[in-house]
Structure 1
Amino acid sequence: MAPEPRRQEPEGCLVVALRIPIRIVVLVLVVPIRMAWDALVVAGRFLTDAVLRPLGRALLWVGRAVFVWPWVALWRYVVVPVAKALAWVGHMLVVVPLGRLYRYVLTPVGHALAWIGRGIGAGLEWLYARVLTPIGRGIAWLLKGVGIVLGAVGLGVYTAVAWLVRYLLVVPAQWLYEWVLAPVGRALVWLGNAVITGIGAVLYWTTRVVVVLPALVLWRWVLVPVGRVLAVLVREVGEALGHAWRVAGRISLAVGRFLGTLFRWIFVEPVRWVYRTVLTPVGHVVRDVVLRPVAEAGRAVGRATRQALASARETVRQARADFRRMLFGEQRRPEPVARREPAGRETRTLGSSTTALTKD
């Protein structure tokens, strides 16, 4: 669903009179700023791609080589082996002796102490059940009888005191509240409400006449028109800035394209023509006349050198073999043994068997 077109509000003569001068002034001020901004953006991108990013990569590699790799090597080849050795030494010097101490000393001692504790606990349990419990029950029965007597006496005393307090304090205080204090309080509340209502009415009308009406007149007839004029001015300046920024961008783009084209025709195209017309044929000639023959000669020299080295190695090997035979004599060769299987790719036939039972 297409959006509804924005309805244009009718504009006054003040808006139309202010729009064109504001846009002209803002455009004149914004064009140099936009061109400087675009130039800074291009320079920043070039600096980032050509200088900062390679420098950052080099600094990152140097930082790794200086700070990371030595610590990694120290951790891997020094700290870890030393820690493993210390752990093994600690295990053999601390853990194993403590384990044997716990197993062969502390455990038997603990079992003996537990057996002694169980005996003492059984004795205390017998003392509690046979001696302390009967004594405690007798004392509780005695205290229960005394408590019953004291409870009866206390109940009588509480009843008498409660009757005296009710008829000497509570009933007179209730009569005083109902017939004296409550009417006096209601009268005072009514009088206070009347006084506060009158004072509030006087303050309300005084504040309305002295403060509210002048402030309302000032707001309606001074601040609202001035605010509307300032709002129109600010809106037009903002729209003029946006329009000028877009127009300055197009102007900056056109100037940049013109400078790029000029740079290409002055510098790039001549360099490309020199490279294509002069340097490329010269490079081909140098490659065909100089570099290829030199490479062929180098390869031939390499082959001859390899052959000479191979011959020298073979000569040295033969000399070593002759010297060994001269010192230790000829090695005895093993005598050939008749094989029962056919040599080579000969196949078995019915006339010539190779087994042990039918061999001729």
Structure 2
Amino acid sequence: MEPMDKDRRVPERYEPGEGCLTTAVRLPVRIVVLVLVVPVRLVWDAVAALGRAVHRTALRPLGRGLAWLWHTLVVIPVAWTWRTLVVAPLRWFWRSVLTPVGRGIAWLGRGLGVGLVWLGKALFVWPWVALWRYVVAPVGRGIAAAVAWLVRYVVVVPARWLYASVLTPVGRGIVWLVRGIGTVLATLVRWILVVPLVALWRYVLRPAGRALAAVVTVVVREVGAAFGHCWRVAGIISRAIGRFLGTVLRWVFVKPVRWVYRTVLTPLGHGVRNGIWRPARQALRTARETVRQTRQELRRALFGAPREPQRAAAVPPRREPGAPGTRTLGSSTTALTKD
């Protein structure tokens, strides 16, 4: 008795823990992959940093400038030229010339088509319709009836008798013979080919395939995990090297330059500004003011003092009647009685 399929299935869950194959493969694979990945990660980080710097400082401004030049020098003139020299004349030609001409041609074509259709029906359709309806159709129906009678009694009735009396028994015998031969051949093929192949698959190929698949799966999984782990370790190493180089550059270049700037250049600049630049500016401002005053004195001595502009007489505020100081008929404050 052959074992059931459910008895030969692999258990759904294995016991927790890792096998000796996984432990034996993991450590050497990770060591080899780490040695191979660390230089690649260092080169990758350096190239990525350089690419970001070049893109940020050179390529992006250059691309924006080229895009602006292209849009300003090429796109806008070409679009204006296209709209002005091509689109506008074509639109005017379409609206003013082609559309009226097309409408006239369409109207003429519709009228001519209607006339030709009517003429064609009158010359070619209606005579043939009448001939078919009143001559050909009656004659054809009679001929068809005669041919149908002849075919029925000359062909159909003998063929039906031949099928029922001869072909049906012969066909049944052939079917029975073929069915028996097919059953024998199917039995032979099953026991000679199918059963050995099924046994080979069940007891040899499938267990070997499962074992090979398990080994390949473990190796591939460990190689992938090793690549991921080593890539992360290489990133840590790369960041550490980058920080070390940044610290070295800061202590070698940035700190000395900053110390020189704060300790030497800044006091020197303040001294130059307070001791030389400000007194020079003050002296220059004083000399300029002296020259301006001297020029004014010379102009006043040669041409005299400039005339002061005459100021308009102040208009007295308007007062209400009856207020003190208002003009009367006897007062001399008007223009006619003014001395």
**TM-score, normalising length from structure 1?**
0.57
1:37 aligns with: 44
| CA distance in 2 between partners of 1:43 and 1:159 (Å) | 97
C-alpha distance 224-234 of structure 1, shift in aligned 2 (>3 A):
same
**Which of 216, 220, 243 does residue 234 from structure 1 map onto?**
220
- Alignment match of 2:252 (pick from 253, 266, 269): 266
Secondary structure of the residue that 2:231 maps to in structure 1?
helix
Q: Which residue is equivalent to 1:283?
A: 269
**Are positions 1:16 and 2:23 aligned together?**
yes
Task: Determine if the alignment matches structure 1 residue 28 to structure 2 residue 35.
Answer: yes
- Give the aligned residue type for 1:242: G
Structure-2 change in CA distance of 1:29 and 1:58 (3 Å): closer
Structure 1 stretch 14-23 or stretch 236-245: which is displaced more?
14-23
Q: Residue 10 and residue 69 in structure 1: after superposition, are their counterparts in 2 closer, same or farther (change >3 A)?
A: closer
Give the gaps of 5 or more residues in structure 1: 1-6, 103-116, 118-138, 319-341
Q: Distance in 2 between matches of 1:43 and 1:60?
A: 20
Q: Give the superposition deviation at 1:225.
A: 2.1
Query: Which moved further from structure 2: 162-171 or 252-261?
Result: 162-171
Report the Cα offset of residue 275 of structure 1: 1.0
Q: Deviations over 1:157-180 (max 9, x none)?
A: 766665554344332221211111
Q: For 1:144-163, what aligned pairs fall within 5 Å after superposition?
A: 162-163=148-149
Pick the aligned partner of 1:57 from 61, 70, 91.
61
- For residues 247-279 of structure 1, what are the alpha-carbon distances to aligned partners after superposition, in whole Å with 9 as ceiling and x for unaligned? 222222222222222221222111111111111
2: CA distance, partners of 1:306 / 1:188 = 138
Between 1:231-240 and 1:285-294, the stretch displaced more is 285-294
Aligned twin of 2:236: 250
Question: C-alpha offsets along residues 21-74 of structure 1, whole Å, 9 cap, x if unaligned?
Answer: 332332233223222322222232233333x33xx4245425644x44344775
> Which of 318, 332, 335 is 1:346 aligned to?
318
In the alignment, the residues of structure 2 paired with residue 81 and residue 224 of structure 1 have an alpha-carbon distance, to the nearest angstrom, of 72
Gaps of 5+ in 2: 1-13, 101-110, 112-126, 305-313
Taking structure 1 as reference, are residues 343 and 166 closer, same or farther at Cα in structure 2, changes over 3 Å only?
A: same
1:178 matches 2:169: no
Seq. identity, %: 41
Shift of 1:221: 4.7
> Partner amino acid for 2:52?
R
Q: Secondary structure at the match of 1:349?
A: coil
1:133-153 CA deviation, whole Å, 9 max, x = no partner?
A: xxxxxx9xx99xx959x95x9
Between the aligned partners of 1:277 and 1:71, the Cα distance in structure 2 is: 54
Aligned to 2:122: none
In the alignment, the residues of structure 2 paired with residue 154 and residue 35 of structure 1 have an alpha-carbon distance, to the nearest angstrom, of 96
Distance 1:73 1:172 in 2: 90
- Which residue, 68, 72, 79 being the options, matches 1:69? 72
Q: Which deviates further from its counterpart, 164-173 or 281-290?
A: 164-173
Q: Summarize the Cα distance change of 1:70–1:229 in structure 2 as closer, same or farther, 3 Å threshold.
A: closer
- State the Cα deviation string for residues 68-117 of structure 1 (Å, max 9, x = none): 434477569x9599759x97xx99xx96xx9xxx9xxxxxxxxxxxxxx9
- For 1:23 and 1:155, how far apart are their aligned partners in 2? 95
CA RMSD across the alignment: 4.9
Deviations 1:216-243 (A, max 9, x none): 5542353332332222122112212212
Q: Shift of the alpha carbon at 1:212?
A: 4.6
Q: Which amino acid aligns with 1:13?
A: C
